[in-house]
Structure 1
Amino acid sequence: MSQHHEKVLERIRLGLVYTETEAAFQAPQRRTEEIFEYNHTPPGDPGRRRALLEAILGSVGERTVLLPPFHAGFGSNVHLGDDFFGNVNLTFVDDVEIRIGHGVMIAPSVTLTTTGHPVHPSRRADFGRFSEPIVIEDKVWIGSNAVVLPGVRIGYGSVIGAGSVVSHDIPAMTVAVGTPCRVLREITEEDLKTRTAEG
């Protein structure tokens, strides 16, 4: 790798603005063709789907379900833990890493975007952008149409309400909702009693 490429990668790592031209050397890491094939693989061929998922993603755990179609800028920067469930129209804007733990459930039409753009239009020339990794810890549930923005960490066991825009870290074992997403309450033992035959 050239010194120029190393300098660009360091700027990306620091969350500084970089351009499409500067990052073009990363194009071979994109899994565009494999994602297209995955999204068009018949549901009756789970073996082929699994093989494609292993070829697309940076890492993938056991018993993973990712319903097509899904979308990713790279795919290779996404890491999924065991027992992951991703519903239809999940979008990964994975210019840098998205790390998802074990037992995570994601509802339809959720966007996880590691990348944003500068506010001033002159800094968006050549698709100027910045990227920060996303971390979703174990046992998180993200509701439909939620958007998780660059640099966010969602803590263990938390629930993100449908339609939320998550722009800041969410602590473990909380319910968080809204635009911008805010903690509504903690998850407690009382939640074990809801929607049961005895409850």
Structure 2
Amino acid sequence: MGRNAHFNNEQFIDTALKIAAGQGPAAVTIAAVAGDIGAPVGSVYHRFLSRDVLMAEVWGRVAASFQDEFLTALEKGEGIEAALHTPRWVRQHSAEARILLLYRREELAAGSWPEEMKERAFGISLRLDAGISEFAARTFGKAGREEINRTVFAIIDVPYAAVLRYIRQGKKPPRAVEDHITKTYNAIMRRTK
């Protein structure tokens, strides 16, 4: 008869996220994660074949957490809500924001990802690209390079730049950031004739 598990996958993912957000991705080792929650190292390896697999899970969870509401706003045609999602999400998810906005996916898990995780990451990217393209087409009547560039600048680049300084300082972006993003969004996304 098997033993009851004392730890679950979510606890290990939460711990890896906490360590990476506080000390950087390089600080995340299987031993550090196990030690932080008092689990045997083998318990971590039993669930995650490697550190890279664990960090890929961290990235997947964080990326999905951010993108779900972002893409929902785009699908509803609410570009300004998508743009404002960034500072709002950052305020509510400061550790996750450090992971998503300060580090590239490759910095979190540089090794080989299992096929399932590669497909998941690819799916997240495809969904984002499709959401942006569809929103640009609805907003401007077409989704050419210029329309896509304007859309990306207004809903991704500007909000990212607006919150990055605060994330690096370990602070939450002030609400005034939303006003600046709104003004910039309105100026950029105004339809030209």
| TM-score scaled by length of structure 1 | 0.27
Higher relative contact order (CA 8 A, sep 6+): 2
> In terms of Rg, which structure is larger?
2
| Structure having the larger proportion of residues in strand | 1
| TM-score scaled by length of structure 2 | 0.28
| Structure having the larger proportion of residues in helix | 2
